[in-house]
Amino acid sequence: MNRVMHYIPTIEELHVGFKYQMKQNFQDGTVKTQQQYDDAEWVPRTVGVDIVYIERALTGENAENGLCGIRAKYLDREDIESLDWKYVHHPNANTDRWYDVHKKGYLIMTSGGLDGKITITDDDMGTTLFKGVVKNKSRFSLLLEMMGI
């Protein structure tokens, strides 16, 4: 399966604790060549006080030249399971993936894949607690925290 794993986040998505990757040496604001971009390694980072450099990388001349140097990983099964959700096969799910929360009641989440659409329902009550788009682990973690899950 040839699947896109990363995307360029928007400034609005950024918050302290947001996980992303940055090309090594791309935070200095200098204009890079295609060769420098190709040669640079992706380094895992977390947003903190360096948010000014991230904004510069997302909106500066490198970004305008298609050499942004910042990306975020789409939410995937590994991310979801790392936050205490367990994969549960559902024979009628077709292409959806089904998850059930460990030790937190009977909440079920369905995910449609790359579109980032998820639905979290309380199976006991039959109510939808959340239906929307969550593109990455940082946002998913924040959502779970806001919902008290």
Q: At 132, phi and psi to the nearest 5?
A: 180, -165
Cα radius of gyration rounded to whole Å, the chain: 18
Q: How many CA atoms lie within 13 A of 131 on its CB side?
A: 4
Sequential pLDDT tens for the chain (149 residues): 345 689 889 888 888 889 999 888 777 667 788 888 888 899 999 988 777 777 777 777 777 777 778 889 988 888 888 887 877 766 665 545 556 555 455 566 666 556 777 878 777 777 888 888 888 999 989 998 898 87
Q: ∠137-27-69 over CA atoms, to 5°?
A: 60
* pLDDT at position 1: 33
The per-residue pLDDT for 2 is 42
Q: What is the DSSP letter of 76?
A: -
Residues 86 and 101: their CA atoms lie apart, in Å, by 6
Angstrom distance (rounded) from CA 37 to CA 106: 46
Give the pLDDT of residue 44: 92
Q: pTM for the complete prediction?
A: 0.72
- Measured distance CA(91)–CA(31) in Å, rounded: 51
DSSP state of 125: T
The pLDDT of residue 131: 87
Q: Which single residue is written with the structure tokens 């040496």?
A: 25
Annotated domain spans of the chain: 6-73, 77-147
